[in-house]
């Protein structure tokens, strides 16, 4: 169950966390993040503060320390139960202690316990982690500082044991945030963008390879802080060889050099310009109550669920004829439009769109495991590769169990995941895509969901890369031990990382070569990267810690497999590696005890839960409930309007029941204004499954003309559908090139349909269409 708490404790006393200071150092595509949390106990009794907060799911936490007055205590990594016992023993002895541990359910949630803080005493907690930056569809590198921690939904009948998330409205968080980042790369930094207000970018050298950026004054700490970093020539493969730790033994991960290879595969243009004409496309849409929240702070009218509905419209219109599809939605229960995937055609597309238009954020909690199990229980369709698209705001509690399920079924599908809104679990969204051989996208702030989803659909429509192998060519006395999981998917323009430990005698001029071989569309291909083996000395063990994190995550996944349930050997390996590298894991924790002054603290210990900022809180829930009522009325009137024009269709909705929240309904006066449909979506909604358009009054409205104006210039020898389709394509190219990525696939389908008509009058159509619409679009640019 979700546990909400406000700004004050039950005794109306303030929480002790005062401020958070974050400094980020980005080197190429790796970030080192140092967070300092300042606590102060203004009460007259000893205090224990508990702060539950988010971190990136793939972060390697590598340092934890506390400073009290002039005394600094550096935490050590211990087996989790041993660390907890040390913490409890310290508190029972009246000593000050600090405990940092990862949630057992999700690797992107940590809890920090500050124990026995004396009356009037201040403490600063320093937390350091390193993380890889993910490549976005537009080649930007994404860094996200999770500031918002939404409550993770837990079903009533599930086992307890997860951390209790306390939260309050983001605007009332009682602590402040300061944030700065320094960026450096071998290539110039072209720009840095953010969902938050930034001070101007400052370059630190004339080559523009170093820059610094800060949050503008007055940041409210009411959203995740996202940076998009753009380098010139970003898709260059790189290799970093890092020297081992001087104090560590040779033959261990920390003692030997480690190489990090960053590869960007290049695929033949002939393959990339074609798209598949088959596939089973399964969409899984979150309809929990939190999906009724606004997409961003500036536009409260666009909710997460409404944006998802618009996106499904574009996605459905872009599917190839002859493919198969189905749409599931989930909350506390789950539903599907069809009992099993059906062939994509005009009839099934119309049925699906009618049900999508009715979808609301009214299915209660966020239980994604059951619908996933049901989807995987459905037999795959021969010669139709399964592609799963998951849309969720990620407020789930059993992240590891979900990712394990996806991994067990990775041989039968590719999974593309989309994290919607502030606070979406990065561990869930990235984990789904990584283990499902797909691609992850995050939609924050003013981001539009549609282009990101269509980018992933393009990946899904390209042939899958199979038979991936990695071979090493190293000097005679040097060997490599791969520390990262095997590469399971490759996409054009997307980065693949390989970590490996190096052993043997490495000379100054020694070189190595890595070759990635794979098969694409039946043709064998390969990419190579040659690199110098000489280690760098000043990288601060960042590469070693990321490599340790990659290996720890592999072992943790292995430990959760059924055959390992009675075997503790994997857990022992994880604990040993975590302690050796100083990197956190699911089985270890950071513990620091202040034994300096030897004075025990007197008096009973008070516990304070520090609230994390949450987008989805009670006042938001009330507003969204009203918005859902209006949207429900809009959907009802949409169906009434459709009944007057088309044959009514009432498909049965196949539903698997679980615990469902009560839905509040209310009548809305017929005079309530309806939202105006976006012109692009209006035009797209009129396209047929085959790719063509009808010359209808609705199309005339979408193009800003009357029916007569549309019909009059039509060439006499051209039929209505060809003319309507040419006009629609001209309008798209003439007025919507700024969002081309959203309609490019459905336009390609329209062009394929036109080619199949073998019309000899397309030139005449294009000239007449340009004159009618006031455009200057060439036949070549249309793709004819």
Cβ atoms of 368 and 402 closer than 8 Å:
yes
442: which 2 tokens? 């995050």
Q: In 3D, which of 294, 138, 327 has the Cα closest to residue 230? A: 138
Is pLDDT larger for residue 587 or for residue 218?
Answer: 587
E strands, 17-121, in order: 17-27, 30-40, 47-54, 60-68, 71-74, 76-79, 96-102, 109-117
Q: Which whole number is the average pLDDT over 297-302?
A: 66
Cβ atoms of 651 and 351 closer than 8 Å:
yes
Distances, alpha carbon 752 to alpha carbons 246, 426, 691, 726, 737, in Å: 63, 38, 8, 12, 20
Q: Which whole number is the average pLDDT over 348-359?
A: 95
Cβ atoms of 402 and 396 closer than 8 Å:
yes
- State the Cα–Cα distance between residues 287 and 330, nearest whole angstrom: 6
Burial 574-602 (b: 16+ CB within 10 A, else e): bbebbebbbbbbbbbbbbbbbeeeeeebe
Q: In 3D, which of 122, 118, 193, 109 has the Cα closest to residue 150? A: 109
Distances, alpha carbon 392 to alpha carbons 108, 287, 331, 357, 423, in Å: 16, 8, 10, 18, 11
- The 3-state DSSP class for residue 634 equals helix
- The 3-state DSSP class for residue 83 equals helix
Q: How confident is the model at residue 770 (pLDDT cuts 50, 70, 90)?
A: very high
Phi, psi of 456 (to 5 degrees): -65, -35
Q: How confident is the model at residue 397 (pLDDT cuts 50, 70, 90)?
A: confident
Is pLDDT larger for residue 486 or for residue 546?
Answer: 546
Q: Which whole number is the average pLDDT over 268-297?
A: 83
Distances, alpha carbon 524 to alpha carbons 235, 268, 463, 661, in Å: 22, 11, 13, 53
597: which 2 tokens? 């002054």
pLDDT digits (tens, 9 = 90+) for 85-125: 999 999 888 888 999 999 887 888 888 888 877 788 888 88
Cα of 263 vs its chain's centroid, Å:
21
Cβ atoms of 153 and 395 closer than 8 Å:
yes
Whether the predicted pLDDT of 81 surpasses 80: yes
Query: What is residue 155's predicted lDDT score, i.e. its pLDDT?
Result: 46
Cβ atoms of 109 and 152 closer than 8 Å:
yes
Q: Which whole number is the average pLDDT over 12-24?
A: 73
- Enumerate residues 6+ apart whose C-beta is below 8 A from 704: none
Whether the predicted pLDDT of 229 surpasses 90: yes
E strands, 637-700, in order: 654-656
Q: Which whole number is the average pLDDT over 496-506?
A: 91
Q: Which whole number is the average pLDDT over 598-612?
A: 49
| Beta strand 210-214 pairing with 30-40 | unpaired
466: which 2 tokens? 């199979």
Query: What is residue 84's predicted lDDT score, i.e. its pLDDT?
Result: 94
Q: How confident is the model at residue 626 (pLDDT cuts 50, 70, 90)?
A: very low
- State the Cα–Cα distance between residues 116 and 123, nearest whole angstrom: 11
- Enumerate residues 6+ apart whose C-beta is below 8 A from 625: 292, 664
Distances, alpha carbon 347 to alpha carbons 188, 276, 321, 659, 687, in Å: 52, 21, 12, 33, 13
Cβ atoms of 52 and 166 closer than 8 Å:
yes
Cβ atoms of 482 and 500 closer than 8 Å:
yes
Least confident of 25-34, 464-473, 533-542: 533-542
**Count of all residues that appear for the chain in the document:** 784
- Enumerate residues 6+ apart whose C-beta is below 8 A from 411: none
Considering the four listed CATH numbers 2.30.180, 1.10.3470, 3.40.50, 2.60.40, the one that applies to the domain covering 17-233+583-614 is: 2.60.40
Query: What is residue 693's predicted lDDT score, i.e. its pLDDT?
Result: 96
Mean pLDDT for the chain overall: 81
Least confident of 66-80, 336-350, 662-676: 662-676
pLDDT digits (tens, 9 = 90+) for 399-450: 889 999 999 998 889 999 998 887 788 889 999 998 998 988 888 767 778 8
| Beta strand 413-420 pairing with 440-443 | parallel
Whether the predicted pLDDT of 618 surpasses 80: no
- State the Cα–Cα distance between residues 470 and 490, nearest whole angstrom: 13
Element (H, E) at 461: helix 449-461
Query: What is residue 672's predicted lDDT score, i.e. its pLDDT?
Result: 33
Q: How confident is the model at residue 577 (pLDDT cuts 50, 70, 90)?
A: very high
209: which 2 tokens? 């390879």
Residue with tokens 């071998």: 186
CA dihedral 8, 11, 12, 17 (to 10 degrees): -40
Query: What is residue 12's predicted lDDT score, i.e. its pLDDT?
Result: 46
Q: In 3D, which of 744, 647, 729 has the Cα closest to residue 350? A: 647
| Beta strand 210-214 pairing with 109-117 | unpaired
- Domain spanning 295-446+617-656, CATH architecture: 3-Layer(aba) Sandwich (3.40)
Whether the predicted pLDDT of 625 surpasses 80: no
- State the Cα–Cα distance between residues 117 and 162, nearest whole angstrom: 25
Is pLDDT larger for residue 133 or for residue 522?
Answer: 133
Cα of 497 vs its chain's centroid, Å:
18
- State the Cα–Cα distance between residues 331 and 88, nearest whole angstrom: 38
Q: How confident is the model at residue 567 (pLDDT cuts 50, 70, 90)?
A: low
E strands, 351-412, in order: 386-392
Whether the predicted pLDDT of 648 surpasses 80: no
- State the Cα–Cα distance between residues 120 and 484, nearest whole angstrom: 47
**Cβ contacts of 702-709, under 8 Å, gap ≥ 24:** 702/731, 703/727, 703/728, 703/731, 703/773, 705/772, 709/772
pLDDT digits (tens, 9 = 90+) for 138-178: 788 989 887 655 444 444 444 444 444 444 445 555 567 78
- State the Cα–Cα distance between residues 443 and 436, nearest whole angstrom: 20
- State the Cα–Cα distance between residues 488 and 61, nearest whole angstrom: 26
Whether the predicted pLDDT of 10 surpasses 60: no
Q: In 3D, which of 420, 460, 408, 463 has the Cα closest to residue 438? A: 460
Whether the predicted pLDDT of 11 surpasses 80: no
Query: What is residue 606's predicted lDDT score, i.e. its pLDDT?
Result: 53
Q: How confident is the model at residue 355 (pLDDT cuts 50, 70, 90)?
A: very high
Domain residue limits, the chain: 17-233+583-614, 295-446+617-656, 679-782
Q: How confident is the model at residue 649 (pLDDT cuts 50, 70, 90)?
A: very low
Query: What is residue 645's predicted lDDT score, i.e. its pLDDT?
Result: 39
Distances, alpha carbon 5 to alpha carbons 17, 30, 48, 217, 727, in Å: 15, 36, 17, 28, 56
Q: How confident is the model at residue 622 (pLDDT cuts 50, 70, 90)?
A: very low
Q: How confident is the model at residue 565 (pLDDT cuts 50, 70, 90)?
A: low
Can 17-233+583-614 and 295-446+617-656 be said to share one CATH topology? no
Query: What is residue 268's predicted lDDT score, i.e. its pLDDT?
Result: 77
| Strands laid side by side in the 134-135 sheet | 134-135, 141-145, 225-231, 189-194
Work out the number of other CB atoms within 10 angstroms of the CB of residue 443: 25
Percent of the chain at pLDDT exceeding 90: 45
- State the Cα–Cα distance between residues 314 and 226, nearest whole angstrom: 26
Query: What is residue 32's predicted lDDT score, i.e. its pLDDT?
Result: 95
């Amino acid at each position: 169950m979700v546990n909400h708490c406000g700004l004050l404790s039950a005794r109306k006393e303030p929480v002790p966390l005062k401020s958070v200071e974050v400094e980020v150092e980005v080197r190429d595509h790796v970030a080192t993040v140092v967070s300092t949390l300042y606590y102060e106990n203004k009460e007259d009794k000893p205090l224990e503060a508990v702060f539950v907060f988010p971190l990136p799911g793939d972060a390697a936490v590598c340092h934890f320390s506390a400073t009290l007055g002039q005394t600094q205590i550096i935490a050590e990594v211990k087996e989790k139960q041993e660390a907890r016992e040390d913490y409890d023993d310290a508190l029972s002895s009246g000593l000050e202690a600090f405990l940092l541990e990862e949630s057992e359910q999700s690797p992107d949630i940590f809890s920090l316990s500050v124990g026995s803080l004396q009356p009037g005493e201040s403490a600063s907690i320093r937390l350091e982690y390193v993380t890889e930056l993910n490549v976005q569809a537009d080649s930007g590198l994404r860094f996200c500082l999770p500031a918002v921690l939404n409550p993770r939904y837990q079903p009533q009948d599930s086992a307890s044991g997860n951390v209790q998330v306390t939260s309050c409205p983001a605007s009332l968080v009682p602590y402040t945030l300061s944030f700065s980042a320094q960026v450096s790369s071998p290539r110039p930094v072209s720009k840095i963008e953010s969902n938050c207000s930034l001070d101007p970018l400052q370059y630190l050298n004339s080559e523009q390879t170093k820059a610094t950026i800060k949050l503008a004054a007055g940041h409210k700490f009411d959203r995740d802080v996202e940076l998009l970093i753009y380098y010139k020539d970003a898709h260059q493969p790189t290799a970093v060889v890092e020297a081992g730790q001087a104090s560590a033994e040779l033959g261990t991960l920390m003692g030997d050099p480690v190489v990090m290879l960053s590869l960007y595969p290049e695929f033949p243009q002939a393959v990339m310009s074609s798209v598949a004409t088959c596939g089973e496309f399964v969409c899984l849409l979150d309809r929990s109550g939190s999906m009724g929240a606004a997409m961003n702070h500036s536009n409260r009218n666009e909710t997460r669920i409404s944006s998802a509905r618009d996106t499904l419209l574009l996605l459905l219109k872009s599917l190839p004829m002859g493919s198969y599809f189905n749409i599931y939605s989930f909350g506390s229960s789950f539903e599907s439009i069809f009992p099993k995937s059906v062939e994509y055609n005009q009839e099934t597309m119309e049925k699906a769109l009618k049900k999508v238009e009715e979808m609301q954020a009214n299915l209660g909690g966020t239980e994604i495991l059951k619908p996933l199990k049901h989807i995987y229980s459905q037999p795959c369709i021969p010669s139709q590769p399964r592609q799963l698209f998951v849309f969720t705001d990620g407020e789930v509690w059993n992240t590891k169990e979900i990712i394990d399920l996806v991994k067990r079924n990775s041989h039968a599908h590719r999974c593309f995941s989309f994290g919607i809104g502030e606070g979406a679990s990065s561990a869930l969204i990235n984990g789904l895509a990584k283990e499902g051989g797909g691609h992850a996208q995050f939609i924050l702030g003013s981001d539009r969901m549609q282009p990101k989803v269509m980018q992933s659909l393009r990946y899904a429509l390209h042939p899958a890369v199979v038979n991936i192998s990695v071979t090493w060519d190293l000097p005679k006395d040097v060997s490599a031990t791969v520390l990262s999981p095997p590469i399971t998917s490759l996409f054009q323009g997307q980065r693949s990382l390989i970590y490996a430990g190096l052993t043997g005698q490495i000379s100054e001029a020694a070189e190595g070569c890595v070759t990635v071989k794979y098969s694409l569309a039946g043709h064998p291909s390969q990419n190579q990267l040659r690199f110098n083996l000489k280690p760098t000395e000043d990288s601060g063990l960042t590469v070693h810690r990321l490599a340790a994190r990659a290996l720890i995550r592999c072992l943790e996944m292995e430990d959760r497999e059924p055959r390992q349930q009675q075997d503790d050997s994997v857990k022992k390996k994880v604990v040993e590696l975590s302690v050796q590298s100083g990197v956190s894991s699911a089985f270890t924790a950071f513990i620091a005890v202040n034994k300096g002054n030897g004075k025990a603290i007197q008096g009973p210990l008070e516990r304070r839960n520090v609230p994390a900022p949450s987008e989805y809180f009670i006042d938001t829930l009330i507003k969204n409930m009203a918005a859902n009522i209006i949207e429900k009325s809009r959907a009802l009137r949409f169906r009434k309007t459709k009944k007057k024009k088309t044959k009514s269709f009432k498909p049965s909705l196949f539903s698997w029941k679980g615990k469902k929240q009560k839905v509040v309904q209310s009548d809305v006066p017929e005079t309530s204004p309806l939202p105006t449909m976006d012109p692009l979506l209006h035009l797209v909604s009129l396209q047929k499954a085959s790719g063509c358009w009808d010359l209808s009054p609705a199309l005339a409205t979408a193009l800003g003309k009357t029916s007569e104006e549309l019909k009059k210039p039509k060439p006499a020898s051209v039929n209505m559908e060809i003319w309507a389709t040419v006009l629609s394509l001209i309008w798209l190219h003439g007025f919507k090139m700024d969002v081309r990525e959203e309609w490019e696939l459905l336009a390609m389908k329209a062009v394929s349909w036109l080619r199949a008509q073998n019309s000899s009058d397309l030139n005449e159509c294009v000239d007449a269409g340009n004159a009618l619409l006031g455009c200057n679009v060439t036949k070549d640019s249309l793709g004819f």
